[in-house]
């Protein structure tokens, strides 16, 4: 069996358990996210897990790559704890403010610097933006086919995969040659819990840090300047209703609610 | 990029097995309004094989023009085939705005096309605002929090956006409408495509889809465990309703994302009665329930965003309230 070289793209996202702390600054109109820990985007962990499983069966190497400020190293330490071989962080002010296109372009430039890559994996979407756009766009910049919504990867032979992807109420199985980019869903596997050895491994490893000077990029295609999209404003959404508070003992609240819902005619059979 | 050479609005109208998906006509309805405002032409774009018959239907839904790319190589969707065909079409005909239905396959296709033609793409747009100059602001809920981002694409064309199925209202068919049909020459051959479809499997859902349910009980992260989740099923059964879920609840494995997740990247629901249990109410979820006639929220946290978005807010432990509700509904014999 041919060993497989993987690159897994991982995104730092604000931990969803703390999302209620996200606040819009009324003056700057910027999103304040102080005190919210970052984690590896959950579906990217499924991507790491899938890469590790295939590597364990067939041999090869797993490298994770991310883009972000220096604190992104925290999540790359986690990736090491899962057992990846190597980690790369693209970190430079020039990369900042990138939309999905400029992000994909930068990630692809980092991936091209790595030796021969057979499979690029990443989560199908991120927890925060959930655009699902980076995978197909990385693939475009690498000049390889992509499949999104992947829930199963099978090897037909050393260079050919059968990839099962989700569609509405079903699935498709797509045959593709390597190299390829695959965006995986949360259903593809059950990620492992990092072991004590993994944690030790993580303390001994440090991610490579690459600036714009370390990769071949067109400076006009990275960062905010290389991003076709721009966000001129963010606003709180007003989805307010009357918010009538029902009080009392549980049984009393239940009676009140049933009376009100009956009166509004929204109970079934009404 | 000479952006003033880009004219007209395109809607990618996805077909599967020769049948149009609803999302295409839904977006045509919205795009028709924008086209009328701008005095622009509205075109539907459809790719496939033996699909010439779809042009009349697309005209009836409001398209002035229908671009048909018909080729055996486009028989079943593959990004490796569809994206280069659309790339060539965009480069030749230069639309100003290009909208794509955000189905599983639309979300696979649109970003690849955007990268090929080096333009911006907004995902999961729930509102579009186009100014007199043709500059589009795409309203996109972001950061899962309490905000809506307006996204613009000032100096690249076409301005692209994906729009989730079920968000826009499908217009009435007007069979008297006619459209100019442009048969696009597909130069791509099978040799150019690096992937092959081995199998397509589809199964009609057995349960009533959430989108059409009249009563919905939805649970969130606050439910706490799969065991606790059962009480939602019981409440739903009492009311003959369906059970929906938030993303965190699906991530925990308490509910099935594909059929139960409500919200921006899940389902948009329109029930008479929605009861949200243990749900904090991030905007991703709330925009999926805003069409509910009555919203009830049960949460221990009086400050949870869903409380303001609800008609009735119950600040309490759901473990006490839900059984009391089940008992009360049973008395009513609904």
* Test mutation, B104, B256, B257, B329, chain A, max A CBs within 10 A: B104
Residues in chain A within 8 Å Cβ distance of B154 = 230
- For residue B210, give the DSSP letter: G
Estimate the crossing angle of helix B226-239 against helix B318-332, to 10 degrees.
20
SS3 B151: strand
Q: What is the pLDDT of residue B80?
A: 98
The residue that leads in pLDDT, B204 or A251, is A251
Whether B229 and B182 share a structural domain: no
Q: What is the pLDDT of residue A20?
A: 66
* Test mutation, A12, A191, A254, chain B, max B CBs within 10 A: A254
User: B319 lies in a domain?
Assistant: yes
Q: What is the pLDDT of residue B143?
A: 64
CB contact under 8 A, A250 and B321: yes
List average pLDDT for each run of 10 residues in chain B, which is 334 residues long.
91 97 96 95 98 97 98 98 98 98 97 98 92 92 69 96 88 96 97 97 78 93 96 94 95 91 86 96 86 94 94 96 94 76
Whether B154 and B253 share a structural domain: no
- Are the C-beta atoms of residues B100 and A126 closer than 8 Å to each other? no
| Cα distance between residue A121 and residue B290, in whole Å | 35
**Nearest to A2, CA basis, from A122, A118, A165:** A118
CB contact under 8 A, B197 and A136: no
User: B80 lies in a domain?
Assistant: yes
Burial of A91 (0-12, 13-18, 19+ CB in 10 A): buried
Residue B230, sorted as left (phi over 0), alpha (psi -120 to 50) or beta, turns out to be alpha
> Which residues fall within 8 angstroms of residue B293, CB to CB, at 6 or more apart?
A264, A266, B271, B272, B273
> Residue A85 pLDDT > 70, yes or no?
yes
Whether B137 and B253 share a structural domain: no
**Nearest to A79, CA basis, from A6, A135, A161:** A6
Burial of A13 (0-12, 13-18, 19+ CB in 10 A): buried
Q: Are strands A208-210 and A180-184 parallel, antiparallel or unpaired?
A: unpaired
Whether B180 and B238 share a structural domain: no
Q: Binning pLDDT at 50, 70 and 90, where does residue A92 land?
A: very high
Whether B188 and B232 share a structural domain: no
Whether B316 and B224 share a structural domain: yes
- For residue B290, give the DSSP letter: T
**Nearest to A142, CA basis, from A3, A44, A4, A7:** A7
CB contact under 8 A, B143 and A31: yes
Q: Are strands B19-20 and B15-16 parallel, antiparallel or unpaired?
A: antiparallel
Whether B280 and B155 share a structural domain: no
> In this complex, which of A20, A177, A257 lies closest to B280 when CB atoms are compared?
A20
Domain count, chain B: 2
Q: How far out from the chain centre does Cα A177 lie?
A: 24
Q: What is the pLDDT of residue B145?
A: 46
| Cα distance between residue A180 and residue A117, in whole Å | 9
Q: What is the pLDDT of residue B297?
A: 97
Q: What is the pLDDT of residue B167?
A: 77
B228 is written with which tokens? 């606790």
Domain stop point among B163, B192, B221: B192
Residues in chain A within 8 Å Cβ distance of B314 = 245-246, 253, 257
Q: What is the domain partition of chain A in residue ranges?
A: 4-226, 240-270
Instruction: Work out the percent of chain A whose per-residue pLDDT is above 70.
Output: 95
Among residues 5-64 of chain A, which lie with CB inside 8 Å of chain B? 14, 16-17, 19-20, 22-24, 31, 33, 42
The residue that leads in pLDDT, A27 or B223, is B223
Lowest mean pLDDT among A11-20, A159-168, B299-308: A11-20
User: B204 lies in a domain?
Assistant: no
> In this complex, which of A24, A140, A267 lies closest to B112 when CB atoms are compared?
A140
SS3 B20: strand
SS3 B282: coil
User: B203 lies in a domain?
Assistant: no
> In this complex, which of B80, B116, B146 lies closest to A236 when CB atoms are compared?
B146
**Nearest to A207, CA basis, from A62, A39, A88, A82:** A88
> Residue A65 pLDDT > 60, yes or no?
yes
Q: Are strands B159-163 and B15-16 parallel, antiparallel or unpaired?
A: unpaired
DSSP result, chain A? ---EEEEEE--EEE-GGGGGG-EE-TTT-PEE-TTPPEEE-HHHHHHHHHHHHHHHHH-EEEEEEEESSGGGHHHHHHHHHHT-SEEEEE--GGGTT--HHHHHHHHHHHHHHSS--SEEEEESS-SSS----HHHHHHHHHT--EEEEEEEEEEEETTEEEEEEEETTEEEEEEEESSEEEEEPTTS--PPPPPHHHHHHHHH---EEE-GGGS---GGGSTGGG-S-EEEEEEE-------EEE-SSHHHHHHHHHHHHHHHT-STT-
Residues in chain A within 8 Å Cβ distance of B155 = 228
Q: What is the pLDDT of residue A17?
A: 74
What is the four-CA torsion angle of A108, A113, A117, A123, rounded to 10 degrees? -40
- Are the C-beta atoms of residues B66 and B179 closer than 8 Å to each other? yes
| Cα distance between residue B21 and residue B103, in whole Å | 9
> Which residues fall within 8 angstroms of residue B83, CB to CB, at 6 or more apart?
A140, B109, B112, B113, B116
User: B297 lies in a domain?
Assistant: yes
| Cα distance between residue B243 and residue B232, in whole Å | 7
Residues in chain B within 8 Å Cβ distance of A187 = 257
> Residue A36 pLDDT > 60, yes or no?
yes
Q: What is the pLDDT of residue B207?
A: 64
User: B199 lies in a domain?
Assistant: no
Domain that holds residue B305: 210-332
Whether B258 and B176 share a structural domain: no
Q: Are strands A119-123 and A86-90 parallel, antiparallel or unpaired?
A: unpaired
Whether B169 and B28 share a structural domain: yes
pTM of the model: 0.85
* Test mutation, B84, B87, B109, B114, chain A, max A CBs within 10 A: B114
Q: What is the pLDDT of residue A128?
A: 82
CB contact under 8 A, B115 and A140: yes
CATH H-level, domain A4-226: superfamily: HUPs (3.40.50.620)
- What CATH number is given to the structural domain containing B119? 3.40.50.620
CB contact under 8 A, A133 and B118: no
A96 is written with which tokens? 């900042």
Residues in chain A within 8 Å Cβ distance of B116 = 140
For the segment A210-232, what is each residue's pLDDT rounded down to a tens digit? 999 999 999 999 999 999 999 88
- Comparing alpha-carbon positions, the chain A residue that sits nearest to B267 is A168
> What average pLDDT score do residues A250-267 get?
93
A219 is written with which tokens? 């400076």
Residue A110, sorted as left (phi over 0), alpha (psi -120 to 50) or beta, turns out to be alpha
- What CATH number is given to the structural domain containing B275? 3.40.50.1220
| Cα distance between residue A162 and residue A155, in whole Å | 6
Q: What is the pLDDT of residue B48?
A: 98
DSSP result, B214-263? SEEEEE-GGG-SHHHHHHHHHHHHHHT-EEEE-HHHHHTTSS-HHHHBBS
Whether B214 and B187 share a structural domain: no
Whether B185 and B233 share a structural domain: no
Whether B161 and B62 share a structural domain: yes
B218/chain A closest Cα distance in angstroms: 16
B47/chain A closest Cα distance in angstroms: 18
User: B139 lies in a domain?
Assistant: yes
């Amino acid at each position: 069996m041919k060993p497989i070289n993987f690159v897994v793209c991982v995104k730092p996202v604000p931990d969803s358990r703390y999302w209620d702390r996200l606040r819009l600054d009324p003056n700057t109109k910027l999103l304040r996210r102080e005190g919210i820990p970052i984690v590896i985007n959950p579906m990217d962990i499924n991507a790491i897990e899938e890469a590790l499983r295939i590597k364990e069966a067939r041999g090869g190497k797993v490298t994770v790559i991310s883009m972000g400020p220096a604190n992104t190293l925290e999540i790359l330490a986690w990736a090491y704890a899962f057992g990846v071989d190597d980690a790369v962080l693209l970190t430079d002010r020039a990369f900042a403010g990138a939309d999905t296109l400029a992000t994909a372009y930068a990630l692809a430039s980092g991936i091209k610097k790595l030796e021969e890559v057979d499979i690029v994996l990443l989560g199908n979407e991120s927890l925060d933006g959930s655009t699902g756009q980076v995978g197909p766009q990385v693939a475009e910049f690498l000049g390889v086919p992509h499949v999104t919504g992947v829930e199963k990867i099978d090897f037909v032979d050393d260079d050919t995969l059968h990839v099962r992807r989700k569609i509405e109420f079903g699935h498709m199985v797509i045959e593709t040659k390597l190299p390829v980019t695959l965006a995986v869903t949360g259903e593809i596997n059950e990620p492992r819990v990092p072991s004590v050895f993994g944690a030790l491994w993580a303390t001994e490893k440090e991610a490579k840090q690459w600036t714009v000077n370390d990769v071949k990029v067109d400076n006009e295609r990275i960062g905010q300047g290389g991003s076709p999209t721009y966000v001129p404003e963010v606003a709180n959404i007003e989805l307010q209703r009357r918010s009538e508070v029902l009080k009392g003992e549980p049984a009393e609240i239940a009676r009140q609610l049933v009376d009100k819902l009956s009166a509004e005619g929204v109970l079934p059979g009404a | 990029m000479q952006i003033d050479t880009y004219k007209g609005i395109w809607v990618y109208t996805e077909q599967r097995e020769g049948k149009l998906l609803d999302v295409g006509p839904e977006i045509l309805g919205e795009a028709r309004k924008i086209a009328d405002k701008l005095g622009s032409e509205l075109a539907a774009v459809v790719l496939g094989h033996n699909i010439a018959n779809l042009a009349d239907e697309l005209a009836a839904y409001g398209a002035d023009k229908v671009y048909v790319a018909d080729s055996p190589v486009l028989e079943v969707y593959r990004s490796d085939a569809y994206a280069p065909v659309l790339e060539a079409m965009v480069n030749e005909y230069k639309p100003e705005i290009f909208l794509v239905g955000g189905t599983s396959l639309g979300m696979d296709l649109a970003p690849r096309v955007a990268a090929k033609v080096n333009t911006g793409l907004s995902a999961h747009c729930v509102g579009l605002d186009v100014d007199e100059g043709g500059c589009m602001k795409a309203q996109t809920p972001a950061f899962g929090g309490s905000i809506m981002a307006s996204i613009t694409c000032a100096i690249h064309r076409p301005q692209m956006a994906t729009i989730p199925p079920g968000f826009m209202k499908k217009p009435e068919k007007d069979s008297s409408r006619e459209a100019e049909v442009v048969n696009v020459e597909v130069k791509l051959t099978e040799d150019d495509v690096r992937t092959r479809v081995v199998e397509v499997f589809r199964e009609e859902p057995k349960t009533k889809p959430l989108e059409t349910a009249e009563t919905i009980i939805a649970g969130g992260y606050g439910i706490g465990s799969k065991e606790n989740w059962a009480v939602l099923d019981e409440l739903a059964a009492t009311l003959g309703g369906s059970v929906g879920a938030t993303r965190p609840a699906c991530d925990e494995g308490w509910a099935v994302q594909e059929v139960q997740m409500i919200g921006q990247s899940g389902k948009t629901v329109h029930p008479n009665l929605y009861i949200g249990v243990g749900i904090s109410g991030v905007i991703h979820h709330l925009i999926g329930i805003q069409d509910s006639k009555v919203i009830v929220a049960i949460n221990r946290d009086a400050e949870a965003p869903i409380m303001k978005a609800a008609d009735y807010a119950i600040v309490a432990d759901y473990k006490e309230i839900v059984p009391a509700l089940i008992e009360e509904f049973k008395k009513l014999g609904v």
